[in-house]
Chain A
Amino acid sequence: MKLLTHNMLTSKCLKGVTVGYPLAIVAKDIKVSEVDFNSEFIARIIPKLDWATLWKAAESIGHVGELPQTLVEDFEENEDFLKKVHHILLEVEVINGDLLCPESGRKFPINDGIPNMLLNEDEV
């Protein structure tokens, strides 16, 4: 699971949970790989992100690097910044671990990079 996905993911599926955001990450294995940089995509995706969540998530798994805590202005032209965002969104990947619902503490396991958001039949 990449942090881009994490930024959009909630545990709203649980009964009684209305926001379920942001999910906490307990990372066991993290993989960093190289992904082609596409400034257009990153510039288009930044407005869709919850920046505080991204920063906290990056920090919690120890990959925050030089990522600023607040979103910089005029980021479209700032290639250096876009590359940092690119790295944290697409190149850092949680391979094994858990996602935790912030309200109920329900665990959603991540195996082989694929989060399992399924509930059991007694929870739906």
Chain B
Amino acid sequence: MIGIPKKYLLWFAHEHVDFRIAEIESICEMYDIKVTTILRPDEYPYWIIESDSEDAVKKIASRSISLRSCIELWGDGGSHEDLHRSLKEYPQGNMRLHLNNEKSFKVIVETFCKHFSQDEKIKKIESFSYLPIEGPVNLRNPDTALMYIEYYGLDPNTIPDKPYHLFFGRLVADGQRQLIRKLSLKTRNFIGNTSMDPQLSLIMANQAQVKNGDLILDPFVGSGSLLVAASQFGGYTLGTDIDYLMLHARTRPSRISQKTRGKDESIASNMKQYGTSSYYIDVLVTDFSLPVWRSDMRVDAIITDPPYGIREATERVGTIKRQPVIDQHQVASHIPSKIDYGLPQMFVDLLSFAANHLCINGRLVCWFPLFREHYADEQLPSHPCLQLIANSEQILSTYTSRRLLTYKKIRDPQDDDPIDDSNVLDFRVRYFGHGDETRKERRMKRAEQRAKNKENWEKNIKSKTAR
């Protein structure tokens, strides 16, 4: 359905702000949707876009996890007067399509960063009494849901009396936030110590543009949380991991209330719990440093969260013994010894694996841990066949963060490709080397920071009083 371009408001959840743009861009590319961005503040939880097709906007909402709702914008403004003025200028014909006497309706009032009682909200609704509403009220299941939003900024310590921005429009579709609850780790049958949070797993599946019938691989599968998310969107999932006990769910339970692992715990049982058993292919115990797949095997996307060497070890099979011998009678039950893989080598291998086994335009989506103060783009792993298309940061602590990297395969590898010389640093060495400064040094550093903060604060106060 192509019509006159209309304005839509994308109303986001204020969580994982750095992932928003990448997610929406990824979804738009996947469905080949072209929208014009009219207003896209970096931090605020709303965008205004223009599109000539409501279906396109609905498609975005059908996949987006960051998006709360999508609203056909009828009016907006920086003050109540502006809002009402712009609302009165909106073509009545379009309003009447949704507000005639056959359409039941309700009005949702949402206020960001300020709380109002139900009575106050009703008063707000009454200020729109001039709208040409003819149909009956239906709070449960209305034909038309109207939405009124007041935005009071991001700082809960200085909430203004009047909102910074006001919006009014018709609710078109909700985002997929309900999936976060559906896939909650609290109710999942099998979890591990480092199971990925459902919201981020789903965002990863969107970054990877998982579509119905895609083949998805996670080479560091662990408890399979990324496969669960990918299967929600119709991806057929394969996983490998070096940890035999994890794949057989025989590690120590991750829940404090649980003394032993249940008999039925497994990645397959998680898929069953969410009704996506049909999308589960297999998991295998393999060592990622060695090849196991046919060289012409191609997958549509690789989604993975490799171990960082802190909570989960970066390991491969090996030994420091010069000539290891395993007695014949022990071979059958022998558990191979492991040595450190090293994060830099693991990422070199991961990118080259992706370059070999992704389809053209297939995506590699992976997390990369780093120290925030030393961050530079050159430290990110790189490969001549892979183009970095998104890079979103999740802060983990004062010093550390991890970045969700999305690469697209642009061509097949060739023999004369330059060898990767990117400057990937070993996170583990840094992480544990970090505590090497003495307590005195740390105290001095903190005192310095406090003095600086105080100075800034005084300066601020002065400039404010001067005004």
Nearest residue, chain A, Cβ from B236: A41
Inside 8 A of A121's CB, which chain B residues have their CB?
A: 317-319, 321, 324, 326, 336-337
| Contact segment of B161-169, B200-208, B279-287 | B279-287
Distance in angstroms between the alpha carbons of A72 and B108 in the assembled complex:
57
Q: Is residue A2 within 8 Å, beta carbon to beta carbon, of the partner chain?
A: yes
- Asked if B319 and A111 sit within 8 Å, CB to CB, the answer is no
- Asked if B284 and A114 sit within 8 Å, CB to CB, the answer is yes
Distance in angstroms between the alpha carbons of A118 and B212 in the assembled complex:
32
- Residue from A11, A21, A38, A90 within 8 A of B281 (CB atoms): A90
Q: Give the contacts of A94-119 with B (CB-CB under 8 A).
A: 111-119
Distance in angstroms between the alpha carbons of A121 and B248 in the assembled complex:
21
Q: Is residue A77 within 8 Å, beta carbon to beta carbon, of the partner chain?
A: no
- Asked if B292 and A113 sit within 8 Å, CB to CB, the answer is no
- Asked if A8 and B278 sit within 8 Å, CB to CB, the answer is no
20 A-B contacts (beta carbon < 8 Å): A1-B284, A5-B281, A8-B294, A9-B284, A9-B294, A10-B291, A13-B286, A36-B278, A38-B278, A41-B236, A45-B215, A48-B215, A50-B294, A113-B282, A116-B284, A117-B285, A120-B317, A120-B331, A122-B324, A124-B287
- Asked if B337 and A118 sit within 8 Å, CB to CB, the answer is no
Chain A: number of interface residues, binned into ranges: 35 or more
Q: Is residue A57 within 8 Å, beta carbon to beta carbon, of the partner chain?
A: no
- Asked if A119 and B317 sit within 8 Å, CB to CB, the answer is yes
Q: Give the contacts of A31-64 with B (CB-CB under 8 A).
A: 35-36, 38, 40-41, 44-45, 48, 50
Min CB–CB distance B24 → chain A (angstroms):
26
Q: Give the contacts of B228-284 with A (CB-CB under 8 A).
A: 234, 236, 238, 242, 244, 247-248, 266, 268, 277-278, 281-284
- Asked if B284 and A5 sit within 8 Å, CB to CB, the answer is yes
Inside 8 A of A115's CB, which chain B residues have their CB?
A: 282, 284-285
Q: Is residue A88 within 8 Å, beta carbon to beta carbon, of the partner chain?
A: no
- Asked if B281 and A12 sit within 8 Å, CB to CB, the answer is no
- Asked if A117 and B297 sit within 8 Å, CB to CB, the answer is no
- Residue from B244, B282, B298, B324 within 8 A of A116 (CB atoms): B244
The answer to whether residues A124 and B318 also contact, given A10-B291, A13-B287, A118-B285 and a CB cut-off of 8 A, is yes
- Asked if B326 and A120 sit within 8 Å, CB to CB, the answer is yes
Q: Is residue A4 within 8 Å, beta carbon to beta carbon, of the partner chain?
A: yes
Inside 8 A of A5's CB, which chain B residues have their CB?
A: 238, 281-282, 284
Q: Write the B177-216 contact mask toward A (1 if CB under 8 angstroms, else 0).
A: 0000000000000000000000000000000000011010
Q: What are the 3 A-B residue pairs with the smallest beta carbon separation, nearest first? A: A13-B290, A41-B213, A36-B278
Min CB–CB distance A83 → chain B (angstroms):
14
Min CB–CB distance B357 → chain A (angstroms):
10
- Asked if A40 and B213 sit within 8 Å, CB to CB, the answer is yes
How many A-B contacts at CB < 8 Å in the complex?
Answer: 107
The answer to whether residues A9 and B244 also contact, given A115-B285, A122-B325 and a CB cut-off of 8 A, is no
- Asked if A38 and B213 sit within 8 Å, CB to CB, the answer is yes
Distance in angstroms between the alpha carbons of A48 and B293 in the assembled complex:
13
Inside 8 A of B283's CB, which chain A residues have their CB?
A: 114
- Asked if A118 and B242 sit within 8 Å, CB to CB, the answer is yes
Min CB–CB distance A93 → chain B (angstroms):
9
Nearest residue, chain A, Cβ from B331: A120
Nearest residue, chain B, Cβ from A47: B298
With A12-B290, A122-B319 known, 11 other A-B pairs at CB within 8 A are A9-B294, A10-B293, A35-B277, A38-B212, A114-B283, A115-B282, A117-B286, A118-B317, A120-B334, A122-B326, A124-B287
The answer to whether residues A1 and B294 also contact, given A38-B212, A112-B248, A118-B242 and a CB cut-off of 8 A, is no
- Residue from A7, A13, A38, A118 within 8 A of B244 (CB atoms): A118
Q: Give the contacts of B307-334 with A (CB-CB under 8 A).
A: 317-319, 321, 324-326, 331, 334
Q: Which of A7, A44, A116, A118 has the most CB of B within 10 A?
A: A118
- Asked if A117 and B284 sit within 8 Å, CB to CB, the answer is yes
The answer to whether residues A4 and B281 also contact, given A119-B336, A120-B326, A120-B336 and a CB cut-off of 8 A, is yes
